[in-house]
Every structure is written in structure tokens, then in C-alpha cells.
Amino acid sequence: MSTVAEHYERHLAPIYVWMAGGAEAAVQAGGAEIDALSLPVARGAFVLDLGAGFGLHSIPLARRGARVTAIDSSAELLRTLAELSGDLPVQAVNDDLLAFQDHIAEAPSAILCMGDTITHLPAFGDVEKLVEQVSIELAPGGVFVASFRDYSVPLTGEQRFIPVRSDETRILTCFLEYEPEAVLAHDIIHERTADGWQTRVSHYRKLRLSPERLIACLQWNGFETRREAGMRGMVRVLARRL
Ligand SMILES: C[S@@+](CC[C@H](N)C(=O)[O-])C[C@H]1O[C@@H](n2cnc3c(N)ncnc32)[C@H](O)[C@@H]1O
């Protein structure tokens, strides 16, 4: 099994933009999600994007006037983010998202952890740690948003084989294997080469975090919460610091 960082560096990062449907379409979809959130983000406001990837949310936020710090453990995805964001006020930071406090000099108006990033944390204790850190650092009235896949109810049989994306040269399928607290995500990549189709497989562990468990943790830390449907079948939890 790979660590999350190894899985992205060796397996997913090189095809991530393709997997997301291309940079332009993905950033447009991210922008639509940002608009739907109605974040309390005035022009010039400071926003943190944790597990930012190639900037699907960071770039639209910066286009709407925010100053964004985008933290991710994948150097390759951050290089793509830097290329795509150009002169926009997006600072890319290559670090673990749990170390975000080392990279902020002011209270963020919003902290995002979108696109199933929070389930990449190793254990529920790390989710608790993140929520506690967010509750300390967020500006009063600020908002924390997490969107993620709810793996708490296991898929069974052939439902566990998830076609992610395919075209004439590449097929990406994800197979889910359930453990009591986690799910092993096996990403199977078939690629057409000059020698025919080649297959690469890598897997990593993701948390089976239920929305109810995250919401209880947020409320315990003094947040008012709202749950709604997110993009691509994810659940989205918005938490406002009272
Ligand atoms: C599923 S992608 C989501 C990316 C982006 N937020 C989006 O919506 O497209 C998860 C991202 O989180 C990053 N990541 C996972 N665990 C991390 C950690 N502990 N610290 C920093 N980044 C992490 C991965 O490198 C990857 O870019």
C-alpha cells in the first residue's frame, strides 16, 4: 500500500487534470461551486484552501478577489496550480495540511477542504485536530467548508468498481475495499501505448468519515453547521464560527 503522498506523486498527480475533465472545465466547475457557497469573502479577504490540488477552487476564489494560500502535499499538483494561476494572488505551499498554522499570518475569512481531501487524513483523531485548529484560526464569522465522499455505508459487489474516466487512450477505474474505519481505494489505470495497453495499480487508505461524525465534531468546537449536496455525489458541510 502507498502513503497518500506516494499515491499522488507516482500514480494520480500526472493524470489528475485529465481525471478532473481538463483544467478549464474543472476550474469552471470549481467556480460554480464557489458561487453556490456564498462565502463571506470580501475583495482582498484571506482564504485557505487545504489539499488544494491544481487549484480547482483556489483559482476561482482568487479570480473573485480573494488572496489564497493553497496547501497541498503534492509538489506536482502545486506546479500545475502555479502555471494555471499565473499572476493571480495564490500562494502555493507544499506541506501537510495539518501544518497550515505555520503558513498563516492573519485570520482566514474562509478555510476550504474540498474534493474529498479530508478523508485522506490518516485517522479520525486527525480530523478532530484539524477542526480544533480551524476553530482557533478562523476569523469571527468565518466559514469552514468540507466536501467529501461518504464511505460510511459500504458499497457491495460490483458497486465497488467505480468507472472514474475513460477516453480512447486511458481508462481509470477505482475499486473500493472496506475496512472497519477506512476504505482502501485501488486506482487502476489502463493506458494505451505503442506496445498495446498497459496497466498500473496503486492503492491507499481513506477514512470512512460520516457527515454526522464531522458535524458532531464541528458543533462540539462551537460551529453552527449546514449539510448539503456537493459536486460529483459528494456531501458538503458548511460550518460558521459563532
Ligand atoms: C481528491 S484531491 C482534491 C483536490 C482539490 N481540493 C479538488 O477539489 O480538486 C485531494 C488532494 O489533497 C492532497 N492531500 C491529501 N492529503 C494531504 C495532506 N495531509 N496534506 C496536504 N495535502 C493533502 C492531495 O495531494 C490532493 O491534491
pLDDT in tens, 188-215: 999 999 999 999 999 999 999 999 999 9
Which residues share a beta bridge with 238? 145, 226
pLDDT band for position 241 (cuts 50, 70, 90)? confident
Mutate to test the pocket of ligand 1, among 6, 59, 73, 101 (most ligand atoms within 8 A of CB): 73
Banded model confidence at residue 35, pLDDT cuts 50, 70, 90: very high
Task: Name, in order, each residue with C-beta under 8 angstroms of 166's C-beta and a sequence gap of 6 or more.
Answer: 172
| DSSP H or E stretch at residue 213 | helix 211-220
Atom of ligand 1 nearest to the CA of 49: 6
Nearest CA to ligand 1 atom 15: 120
Half-sphere exposure (CA, 13 Å, Cβ side) for 225?
Answer: 22
Q: What percent of the chain has pLDDT over 70?
A: 100
Q: At what angle do helices 211-220 and 124-137 cross, to 10 degrees?
A: 40
Q: What does the pLDDT average to over 92-118?
A: 97
> 191 CA distance to ligand 1 centroid (A)?
24
**Mean pLDDT, the chain, as a whole number?**
96
Helix axes 23-37, 75-85, angle to 10 degrees: 80
Q: Ligand 1, residues 11, 48, 54, 72: which to mutate, most atoms within 8 A of Cβ?
A: 72
Confidence check: pLDDT of 40 > 90: no
Query: Is the separation of the CB atoms in 56 and 68 below 8 Å?
Result: no
Residues flanking ligand 1, CB < 6 Å: 4, 8, 51-53, 56-57, 71-74, 77, 96-97, 114-117, 120
- What is the tens place of the pLDDT at every residue in 114-142? 999 999 999 999 999 999 999 999 999 99
Mean pLDDT of 35-56: 94
Q: Is a pLDDT exceeding 90 seen at residue 185?
A: yes
- Side by side, which strands form the sheet with 170-178? 161-166, 170-178, 182-193, 196-207
